[in-house]
Amino acid sequence: MKVLIYGCGVLGSVAAARLAQGGQAVTVLARGKRLEDIRRDGIVLERFADGARTHTRIPVTDKLGPDDAYDLVLVMMGMHQAPAVLPALAANRHAPNVLFVGNSVSGGGLTAALGSRVLRGFLLVAGTTLPGGAVRYASRERSRPGWIVGEPDGSTSPRIREIAAALDTSGIGVEICPAVDAWLKTHAAMISALGAAVYAAGGTPAQLAADPAAAKLAVGALKESLSALQGLGIPILPKGALLYLWIPAPILAFLLRRMLRSEEVAFGFAHADKARVEIRMILDEMLALYRRGGRPLPALDELNKWFR
């Protein structure tokens, strides 16, 4: 499959290199220093688990032209950045499938701009860019889904099956999710509550773990977020996230503080200095969504005051 990776930060770099290694015809779109790094060195990945490195040479471009043809475009950038690429995508009529991979509260604006070409999804990868341009990352391998993809209408269409098969060549497991909007809203609910709490506590998971009051507030905000989604009739997906509602708050706060001290979680927040704007945007959109249900949100309102 001929694939364009639009945006080559951590997620885009991992997707591009792993798909190219799996035999897909991958081109990346990058600009500035990242463009120079890839032209010079290719994409260098360093695996968090064991430090193993790969060097993958991949064609790189700095634009998507109206007549450029790709089977699939993977848009892999922050939620606050994605709207800026819509004009170039709308002007191109030779890429029938555009999969937006990343945090997303609603796909309405995407569909309005691109129509039936839009698919939505997520890639469960954590990572950071090292000095020199290498990307250190941790991902789920094929034994557990790392790619979550779906059609906006919930169908399991021939094209989503074909795209899932192509993504599976990356060696990262794929799940076709019939309710991808609900999955993305659940993820946004959790990441906005916990991410905002990390920033409010000082910016690192360890600082949140060391602050019992902040951890208690984070748990309250998380429970309120998921309860608000349920109140709006939005399923909680994956279903394992329901545990955050069922576990008593004091036990969940204890477990959260212990988890936040782990090296893996610290690494997962390694990009936190670059994600503040996106987390702020997600929290604002989720709060607007929750308020439609009319429920009181005391913990979220308090957290919202802290995270400014």
71-98 per-position pLDDT tens digit: 999 999 988 888 899 999 999 999 999 9
- The model's confidence at residue 266, banded by pLDDT at 50, 70 and 90, is confident
Burial class (CB in 10 A: 0-12, 13-18, 19+), 293: middle
Structure confidence at residue 170 as a pLDDT band (50, 70, 90) = very high
Nearest to 73 by CA among 110, 104, 33: 110
pLDDT score, position 308: 78
% of the chain with per-residue pLDDT over 70: 98
Lowest mean pLDDT among 58-67, 266-275, 280-289: 266-275
Q: Which residues of 14-51 are buried (b: 16+ CB within 10 A; e: fewer)?
A: bbbbbbbbeebebbbbbeeebbebbeeebbbbbebeee
Dihedral of CA atoms 218, 252, 144, 81 in degrees, nearest 10, equals 0
- pLDDT at residue 160 in the model: 98
Q: Which two tokens stand for residue 155?
A: 């169908």
Asked if 119 and 100 touch (Cβ cutoff 8 Å), the reply is: yes
With 70 as the cut, is the pLDDT of residue 242 above it?
Answer: yes
Averaged pLDDT, 292-307? 95
What local confidence, expressed as pLDDT, does residue 108 receive?
85
Q: What is the mean pLDDT of the chain?
A: 94
Sequence-distant (6+) residues with CB within 8 A of 201 are 207, 208, 210, 211, 214
Q: Return d(Cα 308, Cα 295) in angstroms, integer.
A: 23
Question: Region 140-150: what's the mean pLDDT?
Answer: 89
CA pair distance 297, 283, nearest whole angstrom = 13
User: Quick one: pLDDT at residue 9?
Assistant: 93
Stretch among 17-31, 115-129, 149-163, 261-275 having the lowest mean pLDDT: 261-275
- CA 72/CA 57 separation, integer angstroms: 20
Per-residue confidence at 273, pLDDT binned at 50, 70, 90? Answer: low
The model's confidence at residue 271, banded by pLDDT at 50, 70 and 90, is low
**Cβ atoms within 10 Å, residue 66:** 10
